[in-house]
Amino acid sequence: MVVMRNCFNVRLTFGVAMVLGCIVSSAAIVGGCNVSTNPDALLDSDNSPDSDILPDSGENFSFTITCPERATVGDEVVVAIQSATTANYSFSADGAIVVGSTDSMGTIRADEAGVVTVTVSGTRAGADGNETQTQTCEIEFGESTTQELALSVTCPPSTASTGAEIVTIAAEASRETAVLIIEADGGMLTDAGDGSATLTSNADGVVTVTITATDGGDTASGACTIMFGSGAEALDVSLNCPGQVFLGSGSANVSATVNFEAADITLVALDQDRQPSSSIILEQVGDSAAVSVANRQDVLVQATATDGVSTDIDECTIEFIPIPGLASASRTPFASQCTQAVINCTSSFPVASFTVTAGQGQTVSASDEGFVVTGSMIDGVETVQLDGRASLVSEIEGRANDIFYSWSFGAMDDNRCTYDSGTIFSSDASVPVVLETGFHYIRLTVENEQMIDPPDACVDQDGDMVSVSRRKFDFVEMLLEVRE
């Protein structure tokens, strides 16, 4: 506020005193006039309005305000005051926050979208008392319309020929004001300056091109990977999986390989209708996976490889089945080479032994050559618990440290020097296996970490000497009959 004492021909214009044609700013002595901005100067010795000083009530007190029509939620906007006289002003905002104010402006912020009414009240002390005027305006606050910075990258094919082939990379940012930077970790890159670049390479190998868009503090990026080589091949993924897996013998292990190291591989397992199923479990680690099911079914495994530009797919089918039963027992179970003493099995050899444990609703009884399992059949199959934990790592304790298990069925080799184990279905000490109704020749082979040294000699059925060179081993084979 500007105050003038004992001055004539004084006119207040927008808070600036015009004295005798001179512009006088705050707190100055001009032409014998004392100009002060101290509001107490308006009071007399009794601290009451000095009628010789206060503006005459006949003067018109008014002001205007200027508001933006629109603003963004969260931004602080200024409401400005224009007035020919000095007064005290207060601000209020319906649905918003008054961040701060002075005698010339107020700062408003809204944290939610909507229309905000700003009210400014001005009060001036006059000779006849305080004079108050009020002005209002509306500001529409909306969500930010700033476009998110995004980057679209067009990559060339994932493979290119070394030396001769030129590939093109193109990129476009969602904002015209964004700056694009294109870089490569190999080869020869030529940036055209318009969001595109060309690349060649005289050496075989993978080149990664990185594109970065920046605008203010915002950043977006993308990349292309190109494999340069002589006669470069198209992306090709190959899936490796077993054709059959016996139920209860554990998971089926699958793996995928691709000819482009930088490609990503995704493995999925589907049912016969090529749909995901809760009864199929696939656990992927890297480029391999373990697939398991609870019941008999065919599982389609699909490997998808992509390098960001091209995609290749390979598939295979795994048949999960129970171990088939024989209609009748065709032979006596084979006895191991150690049992027959056809090789010199010392006390450091392991000793194989297994039992069958009855499950819920089952009975297990011993037979002359093995076990008989009777239970409540589901589709002609029974889950049978085989337990080989009674096996010894060595005949005399302490002669060996580690023991390895191998379960198999269907052995037909009667050569006592070889006795091929048949079809292996598990390497666990104890395993639940699903068997069909009928007869099963089940064998447990155990080994320890020691080698037969020197290799032992064995005389086969033809009288020929055969050298046995392997880890120290033993097996036990039994005939299991599964009945309904």
**87-102 pLDDT tens trace:** 899 999 998 999 999 8
Enclosing H/E stretch for 338: helix 337-340
At 309 the pLDDT is: 65
The lowest-confidence range among 199-208, 210-219, 305-314, 469-478 is: 305-314
At 176 the pLDDT is: 86
If asked whether residues 172 and 209 sit together in one domain, one would say yes
Does pLDDT of 114 surpass 80? yes
Residue at a domain's end among 112, 142, 172: 142
Q: Could you give the CA distance from residue 170 to residue 172 in angstroms, rounded to a whole number?
A: 7
pLDDT band at 455 (very low <50, low <70, confident <90, very high): very high
As for how many domains the chain has, the answer is 5
- Domain of 110, CATH number, reads 2.60.40.1080
If asked whether residues 203 and 260 sit together in one domain, one would say no
Let me know if residue 9 belongs to a domain. Answer: yes
At 40 the pLDDT is: 40
Q: Could you give the CA distance from residue 423 to residue 440 in angstroms, rounded to a whole number?
A: 12
Mean pLDDT of 79-88: 89
Query: Of the candidates 424, 308, 441, 293, which has an alpha carbon nearest to the alpha carbon of residue 371?
Result: 441
Task: Check: CB of residue 240 under 8 Å from CB of residue 258.
Answer: no
Let me know if residue 453 belongs to a domain. Answer: yes
Does pLDDT of 290 surpass 60? yes
The string of pLDDT tens digits covering residues 299-350 is 999 999 987 667 899 999 999 999 999 999 999 999 999 999 999 999 999 9
The string of pLDDT tens digits covering residues 401-448 is 999 999 999 999 999 999 999 999 999 999 999 999 999 999 999 999
If asked whether residues 89 and 193 sit together in one domain, one would say no
Query: Of the candidates 314, 157, 323, 155, which has an alpha carbon nearest to the alpha carbon of residue 228?
Result: 157
If asked whether residues 112 and 247 sit together in one domain, one would say no
The lowest-confidence range among 154-158, 321-325, 398-402 is: 154-158
Between 95 and 355, the more confident residue is 355
Does pLDDT of 251 surpass 70? yes
At 406 the pLDDT is: 97
Between 267 and 20, the more confident residue is 267
Q: Quick one: tokens of 77?
A: 């906007």
Identity of the amino acid at 43: L
At 307 the pLDDT is: 75
The share of the chain scoring above pLDDT 70, in percent, equals: 86
Let me know if residue 53 belongs to a domain. Answer: no
If asked whether residues 204 and 290 sit together in one domain, one would say no
Let me know if residue 49 belongs to a domain. Answer: no
Does pLDDT of 458 surpass 60? yes
What is the extent of the structural domain holding 243? 237-321
Does pLDDT of 392 surpass 70? yes
Mean pLDDT of 200-204: 88
- Domain of 274, CATH number, reads 2.60.40.10
Mean pLDDT of 123-133: 84
Residue at a domain's end among 190, 210, 229: 229
Does pLDDT of 265 surpass 90? yes
The string of pLDDT tens digits covering residues 173-186 is 988 888 999 999 99
If asked whether residues 449 and 387 sit together in one domain, one would say yes
- What CA dihedral angle connects 373, 374, 379 and 380, to 10 degrees? 60
Let me know if residue 476 belongs to a domain. Answer: yes
Task: Check: CB of residue 229 under 8 Å from CB of residue 207.
Answer: no
If asked whether residues 351 and 443 sit together in one domain, one would say yes
Q: Quick one: tokens of 479?
A: 């005939």
pLDDT band at 49 (very low <50, low <70, confident <90, very high): very low
Task: Check: CB of residue 456 under 8 Å from CB of residue 467.
Answer: yes
Beta partners for residue 336, in sequence order: none
If asked whether residues 271 and 316 sit together in one domain, one would say yes
The answer to whether the peptide bond before residue 454 is cis (omega within 30 degrees of 0) is: yes
If asked whether residues 137 and 11 sit together in one domain, one would say no
At 10 the pLDDT is: 34
Prediction pTM value: 0.52
If asked whether residues 243 and 293 sit together in one domain, one would say yes
At 23 the pLDDT is: 33
Q: Quick one: tokens of 53?
A: 């000083």
If asked whether residues 225 and 271 sit together in one domain, one would say no
If asked whether residues 308 and 206 sit together in one domain, one would say no
Q: Could you give the CA distance from residue 257 to residue 396 in angstroms, rounded to a whole number?
A: 46
Cβ burial, residue 106 (10 Å; 0-12/13-18/19+): buried
Let me know if residue 222 belongs to a domain. Answer: yes
| Cβ neighbour number for residue 453 with a 10 Å cutoff | 8
Mean pLDDT of 188-198: 92
Mean pLDDT of 286-290: 95
At 230 the pLDDT is: 63
Let me know if residue 52 belongs to a domain. Answer: no
Mean pLDDT of 122-142: 88
DSSP reduced 3-state for 91? strand
